[in-house]
A and B are shown apart, each in its own frame.
Chain A
Amino acid sequence: MNIFRFSGDMTHLISILVLLLKIYATKSCSGISLKTQELYALVFLTRYLNLFTEFFSVYNTVMKLVFIGSSLVIVWYMRMHRVVKLSYDKELDTFRHYFLVVASFVLALLVHEKFTFQEIFWAFSIYLEAIAILPQLVLLQRSGNVDNLTGQYVFFLGSYRAFYILNWIYRYFTENHFARLISCISGLVQTALYADFFYYYFISWKNNKKLQLPA
């Protein structure tokens, strides 16, 4: 464990807490893409297949349970909660995210570390996470103004993977034989997807204006 990875995990946790706060406090999920939340639930379920087979540390196990649990709770809130589901932007959240799932799975079948069940699903989860934010970014552009908590959610979610990139650089120099290119390249793609959001987020923060994404 290094400070970059720990910061990344904490930033990721904060993003989830901000999202839960928004949904719980405002009893609304307007501006949140259910499809992105479903993709993230799938990412965690397919990435942590070793949850019960390999034990690294209490921290590792607890965080995996928190990520899986919170993503399922958020999907439940947006699909089933009698009040929250009314504010879901169903007609705006129309990204065909099944294509993202299929594309990630096909790529995982082609590019993986070892052709084993767990490695294929691990690579799948890495590729899927890199593009899981797309429905959310499309929804933000369509819904025009972004409320603060939603903007902060996307900001922290995008930042966490940037910390992981620093972690991979750190591991490369300290553990030398660190070879996992799959994560590095996917992580770079994932962070790049947020680039324009970060730009508009910074502009809105500098001018102290509401976050406006160009349509």
Chain B
Amino acid sequence: TEGASLKDEL
């Protein structure tokens, strides 16, 4: 999903 952007990464 496009929403899986990298914001969940450090």
Contacts and interface: CB of A to CB of B under 8 A. Distances in A.
Interface-central residue, B1, B2, B10, by most chain A CB under 10 Å? B10
B2 A5 contact: no
A12 B6 CA distance: 17
Interface string A7-33: 001001000000000000000000000
Contacts of A177: 1-2, 4
Given A175-B1, A177-B1, A183 B6 contact: yes
A64 B7 contact: no
A171 interface: yes
Contact of B10 (A9, A54, A122): A9
B4 A175 contact: yes
A12 B10 contact: yes
A63 B6 contact: no
* A contact patch SS: helix
B9 A5 contact: yes
A116 B3 CA distance: 16
A5 B9 CA distance: 8
A180 B1 contact: no
Interface band, chain A: 20 to 34
Contact of A60 (B1, B4, B10): B10
A9 B10 CA distance: 8
A147 interface: no
B5 A113 contact: yes
Interface string A97-127: 0000000000000000100000000100000
A122 to B, nearest CB: 8
Contacts of A40: none
A164 B9 CA distance: 9
18 contacts: A5-B9, A9-B10, A54-B7, A56-B7, A60-B8, A64-B10, A67-B10, A122-B7, A164-B9, A167-B9, A175-B1, A177-B1, A177-B2, A177-B4, A179-B2, A180-B5, A183-B6, A183-B9
Closest 9 CB pairs of A and B: A56-B8, A180-B6, A175-B4, A177-B2, A63-B10, A183-B6, A9-B10, A50-B7, A177-B1
